[in-house]
Amino acid sequence: MKSESQVIVRPARNVRGSVSLPGDKSISHRYAMLAAIADGPSRLENYSTGADCASTLVCLRSLGVKWERKDSADNVIEVQGSGLSLTAPSQPLDCGNSGSTIRMLSGIVAGQNFASEMAGDESLSRRPMERVITPLTAMGAQIASENGRPPLRIAGAKLKSIHYRMPVASAQVKTCLLFAGLLADGETRIEEPLRTRDHGEVALRAFGVDIERKGNEVRIRGGQRLRGIAARVPGDLSSAAFFLCAAALFPNSQLTITRLLMNPTRARLLDLLMQMGLRISVTQIEEVHGELFGTLQVEGGRLKGATIAGADTAALIDEIPVLAAIAPYTEQGLEFRDAKELRVKESDRIASIATNLRAMGAQVEEREDGLKIPGGQSLRGTELESFGDHRIAMAFSIAALRAQGETLIRGSESVAISYPAFFSVLEELTER
């Protein structure tokens, strides 16, 4: 039973079936942005169905980029590249709820010869942007903001290269600066405190850009031209996390996920779930433009506990909500450290997780930078809030599958940000 703004999730007895997921959001954003500044056309198959990636396309159209949908069944987007120079927008660029759009696209906008404004919804307007404002300003852009938050008013400039040591590990910030580095004089060098997902680097190479990496430093030379590509976006691993965790709740579950992203900088989730007791085998591995695809065969098992900290936290930052939501069902529980970044996502995810777990009857220790959730607990169905956060809504629909009684999740429409069909697909995979 479902309405526009709430969904009821009933307990399940198993998870079984096969699913093919919409395109990875991280890759979809980057491919679209690079296709926009490439020479010639690009064809992107299995582009993400989420509202965030649609926001990127809306912004590109406002910047004079021509694109169209060719095949709605396979979510094909064809983009006619404009080269490195875009067109001044006649109105603010509407980034919607997408932090990825505003942070990464700002690197391209900062190197144009016009001024633009980047804005978004109420949630996005609360999110910190100093992490891109500071280095882009050092490169020569002039950026005004609301105390470091959107809207951003960017006066583009001929950028100069910099050597930037990132204070916080962020793949979005790294990608923003790589994009800006394309439009800068000389060689831009970016050092990460921890290695983050490398979709920006892989995508740039796919479009013909020469990039050098040594350890945690990546270098890009300005002025390189990009050539359009034909590419398929692999299935979204962050969306797969919810179904993997659902399968992990039931010892007899059997799940197949086809043509899923297998990028090594994102595969830590699979390693962790296997260490915890989920049985996963990977078949049909292929490589397309530097990104690995694979088909997963998944079987449930008894779930042990784990501690997630340091580099693992950075690698799993998007998957922590669903891992935390199933933590009470594990044998030893889960502990999350070094996750303060979760407090400045679409919601304060640490607080949102703790609030909803407690509402379901769980014991939770909330910390400034994480959570400690004991194992061996049972949860009860109740009324929960999504807090306007797609990952919270999806995470607790998974927790609800093993709860006692029905769970009502308010604000369920938030899943459209990343995966509009999520609840219907989950229903297809559950046995009752």
Sketch out the chain's domains with CATH numbers. 6-22+234-431 (3.65.10.10), 25-232 (3.65.10.10)
* CA dist list (Å): 282 to 18, 213, 279: 14, 28, 10
Could you report the per-residue pLDDT of 365-417, keeping only the tens digit for each?
999 999 999 999 999 999 999 999 999 999 999 999 999 999 999 999 999 99
Write the Ramachandran bin of 87: left for phi over 0, alpha for psi from -120 to 50, otherwise beta: beta
Distance CA 399, CA 387 (A): 16
pLDDT above 70 covers a percentage of the chain that reads: 99
pLDDT, tens only, 79-101: 999 999 999 999 999 999 999 99
Can you give the pLDDT at residue 74?
85
Model confidence pLDDT, tens digit, residues 312-367: 999 999 999 999 999 999 999 999 999 999 999 999 999 999 999 999 999 999 99
pLDDT of residue 384: 98
In whole angstroms, give the CA distance from residue 318 to residue 294: 20
271 has a pLDDT exceeding 80: yes
Mean pLDDT of 237-242: 96
Q: Which two tokens stand for residue 43?
A: 């064809």
State the SS3 of 237-269.
Answer: HHHHHHHHHHHHCCCCCEEEEEEEECCCCCCHH
Q: Which residues contact 5 (CB under 8 A, 6 or more apart)?
A: 410, 411, 412, 413
With a cut of 70, say whether residue 1 has pLDDT above it. Answer: no
Q: Write down the pLDDT at residue 306.
A: 98
Rounded to whole angstroms, the Cα distance separating 98 from 195 reads 23
Task: Indicate if the pLDDT at residue 211 is higher than 70.
Answer: yes
Q: Is the pLDDT of residue 238 over 70?
A: yes
Cα 307 to Cα 427: distance, rounded to the nearest angstrom: 31
pLDDT tier at 4 (50, 70, 90 boundaries)? Answer: low
Q: Mean pLDDT over all residues of the chain?
A: 96
Please state the φ and ψ torsions of residue 178, each to the nearest 5 degrees.
Answer: -65, -40
Q: Report, as an integer, the average pLDDT of 206-232.
A: 97
Which tokens is 159 given?
Answer: 């950028």
CA angle 19, 417, 322 (to 5 degrees): 60
Q: Which of 52, 94, 236, 318 is catalytic?
A: 318
* Segment 161-184 mean pLDDT: 97
Token pair 């999520």: residue? 422
Distance, in Å, from the CA atom of 294 to the CA atom of 260, rounded to the nearest integer, reads 5
Confidence band for 5, pLDDT divided at 50, 70 and 90 = confident
User: Which residues, including other chains, have CB under 8 Å from residue 34's CB and lie 6 or more apart?
Assistant: 42, 179, 203, 204, 206, 207, 226
Exposed/middle/buried for residue 215 (C-beta within 10 Å: 0-12, 13-18, 19+): exposed
* Residue 3: C-alpha distances to residues 375, 406, 410, 412 (Å): 33, 15, 10, 9
H or E segment and range at residue 288:
strand 279-288
pLDDT at residue 2 is higher than 70? no
From CA 365, how far away is CA 367, in angstroms rounded? 6
Residue 70 near residue 76 (C-beta atoms within 8 A): yes
Instruction: Supply the pLDDT for residue 3.
Output: 40
- In the block, tokens 């013909």 appear at 208
Task: Calculate helix-pair angle for 130-138, 171-182, nearest 10 degrees.
Answer: 30
Is the predicted pLDDT of residue 117 greater than 60, yes or no?
yes
CB 18 within 8 A of CB 29: no
Rounded Cα distance, 24 and 200, in Å: 13
Residue ranges of the alpha helices (H) in 21-165? 25-36, 51-62, 99-109, 130-138
Report residue 111 as tokens. Answer: 């190197």
* CB count in 10 Å sphere of residue 284: 10
Quick check: is 318 catalytic? yes
Q: 242 falls in which pLDDT band (50, 70, 90)?
A: very high
The rounded distance, in Å, linking the Cα atoms of 223 and 98 is: 28
pLDDT mean over 185-192: 98
Give pLDDT, residue 139: 98
